[in-house]
Structure formats: C-alpha cells, structure tokens
Structure 1
Amino acid sequence: MPSIIKNNYFTKEQELTARFAKALGHPVRIAILELLNSQACCYHGDMADVLPIAKSTLSQHLKELKDAGLIQGEITPPNIKYCINRENFKLAKSLLNKVLE
C-alpha cells in the first residue's frame, strides 16, 4: 500500500475550510464577528467595553480571526481598528455552506 503524504491528501479548499472553521471554534470569536458584521468597523477598546472578557484575551481572539483572514486590522497608534474582511468572509460562508449542505 503506498504511503499518503498528508500535505497532498487534502485539497486547498478543504484546508481553507478547516482554517475558517477553526477560527470560528470559540463563542467569543463568533460574538466578535457578529459585532463587526453589524457595523463598518470597530476599535479594540470599544470591543473590550462590549464583550465580557479581558483586553488581553480579546487580543488573542482577534489575532486568531485575523490570522484566518476573517478580519483585518488597521493600526493607528494608539488605536487598532478592526473590520470584517468582506472577501474572505464571503468565501468562508460559501465553503462552510458547502460542507453543511
């Protein structure tokens, strides 16, 4: 039986879907996305006032979402403004819908 190299076994689409799904794997991240999706953008400090978590914890969750490409941040010291990455958000919805159909 030939060995399967894991890196070549999954499609790029499957890997991307898994990346988005992992980023959605915590209720705080869902709340962040809902908050950002309901408005154009939001500052880190404003989110910290709304969500019941420490600023450092919020930063970790924002990093996960940003690394997955679901949000983007703009740094204007001393503030960081976050917005939904509309293109990747649309792609994530499409890929996840495909899995859940």
Structure 2
Amino acid sequence: MRINSGDIAVLGGLMEDRVDYNNGRLPLLGQIPVAGELVTKRDNAAKKSELVILLRAVVIKDTSLDGDYAAMKGYLPGDDFFAQPNEAQPFNIVPSR
C-alpha cells in the first residue's frame, strides 16, 4: 500500500451481526395450539456492529528528536494538561438562618 503523507488508509475491520430470538408464554395457556398465540410474547432483536481500523500516515522530515517534537507538537496536550486540578471547596447543605 502506498499513500501520501497526511492521507488516511483503511487497514481492515470486523463486522458482527447478531440476532436474538426470545419467546415467552404463559404456562399451560401458551401450549394451546391456536389460543396459545394470544398469550405468547416474542421479543426479537437484530444488532449490527462494525470495527474499522484506520491509519493516518505522517512523514517526519527531520529525524532528530527536536524534529519529531516539532512535527507532533500540534497533536500533544497543552502545558497545563498535568497541572493539579482545583481543590474542591466544601459546601454547607444546611440552609443558613
């Protein structure tokens, strides 16, 4: 496979089809041939899921560590990403008088 820098390629994927058939009926009444259909419950469901693997190729022109960092800097989180979150302030749930 050949793609240009910045292009996205589809590598592959998986598909799954699932069908669930659930039947329920009242004891004794559900066994009667014609009248049993009136007290029978059918709960059928179909589900389809798909997993696709995509790859975005980026050619790094500068092979030094600084070049790698400069090329990927836009994708990295900001400087405040690892900053400590603000401490939660306690609050009083009893109304003041």
Q: Taking structure 2 as the reference length, what is the TM-score of the superposition?
A: 0.16
Q: Taking structure 1 as the reference length, what is the TM-score of the superposition?
A: 0.16
More strand by share: 2
More helix by share: 1
